[in-house]
Structure 1
């Protein structure tokens, strides 16, 4: 197994980079974004996966270890081969994939060439619970960008918390909540109130929040 390569870039074409290692030129399939960052004559170090088939040996390379890890997870999904997996990573970052899986947003995968509706749904189901390490690196979206989160924020401010404290509680609740809870104002509010403490939960009940 070739888990990484380091050498001089001697050619780039399409989505293939030729890396010379010890006098041998290795053809590595990479994303279009990575191709644009490689310069002929400079050194490159890539995290790689060697795919062995009866009639082919294919090397796929990534700049970040997270990308390789997600590539391997995607290849484990029925119907997703290495070319489709790298196609997903060419269109969506690991953090964005983690968000799509957490929110059950299979539409994010349907936008990728070669990924149909059934496969997109299967990706979401198969990767559920496996993307948490990558979600932790995802930049948090502004609370106001999500209608559910915005309504929960308004509710918390109405219960007496400052917007800063309320926003932090909502962000933490979104990160902790399941996809079902994150899509429901009452459910997400309960999670946020739990983060803020038992006194807040009592206040929520007095406001008529379902338990």
Structure 2
């Protein structure tokens, strides 16, 4: 399975991007909120999930590891396929969706394209006990630390997209959950080769 891809964004459409890696353009399906945040010619990193079909191999990508993990959790729900899961994550981030599921907020869930009333009820029924980690304070703490480091990197001259990618890369590494913002910043700079 292909778990991540980094390369130069060659083209962007509403729900997909083409990323060039080693001279090969790879089509990656992304939530539209991710596509909107990218620019052609910039370097980007994606955490990916490969869907194997009889007639196609489809790669879904996320700039945040938490969103990719949540995408996989959504796929475990009866009747939710990759396109609907992608549409759900296009509407909001995983923490907001997880909070809506854990609080049984059907109105919010029904607002996502392709879900409807029965789909929202099924999400709550099947995932209510499984989404606690996505809506937990630790996830929010990680995100706020990440935002602090992104702001610091932008102050050092990195673009918002590069800063987000650098922080995401550090936070997605195993064993990096309890780092301080200064440690995350040092690792991000070290990984970029500019420490």
For normalisation by structure 1, the TM-score amounts to 0.63
How do residues 12-91 of structure 1 correspond to structure 2 at under 5 angstroms? 12-91=12-91
Does structure 2 conserve the Cα–Cα contact (< 8 Å) formed by 1:6 and 1:44?
yes
Distance 2:103 2:62 in 1: 26
- What is the Cα deviation at residue 107 of structure 1? 1.9
The residue that corresponds to 1:106 in the other structure is 106
- What is the Cα deviation at residue 31 of structure 1? 1.4
Distance 2:118 2:20 in 1: 40
Does structure 1 conserve the Cα–Cα contact (< 8 Å) formed by 2:101 and 2:109?
no
Distance 2:32 2:102 in 1: 26
Segments of 5+ residues of structure 1 without an aligned counterpart are: 140-211
Q: Report the secondary structure of 2:45's partner residue.
A: strand
Distance 1:135 1:88 in 2: 16
Q: Report the secondary structure of 2:51's partner residue.
A: strand
Distance 2:106 2:6 in 1: 36
RMSD (Å) for aligned C-alpha atoms: 1.3
Does structure 1 conserve the Cα–Cα contact (< 8 Å) formed by 2:46 and 2:62?
yes
Segments of 5+ residues of structure 2 without an aligned counterpart are: 142-195
The residue that corresponds to 1:8 in the other structure is 8
Larger Rg: 1
Misfit runs of 4+, over 2 Å: none
- What is the Cα deviation at residue 138 of structure 1? 4.5
Q: Which has the higher contact order (CA 8 A, sep 6+)?
A: 2
Does structure 1 conserve the Cα–Cα contact (< 8 Å) formed by 2:33 and 2:91?
no
Does structure 2 conserve the Cα–Cα contact (< 8 Å) formed by 1:96 and 1:138?
no
Please list the CA deviations of residues 30-53 of structure 1 after superposition, one character each: whole Å capped at 9, or x if unmatched: 111111221111111000001001
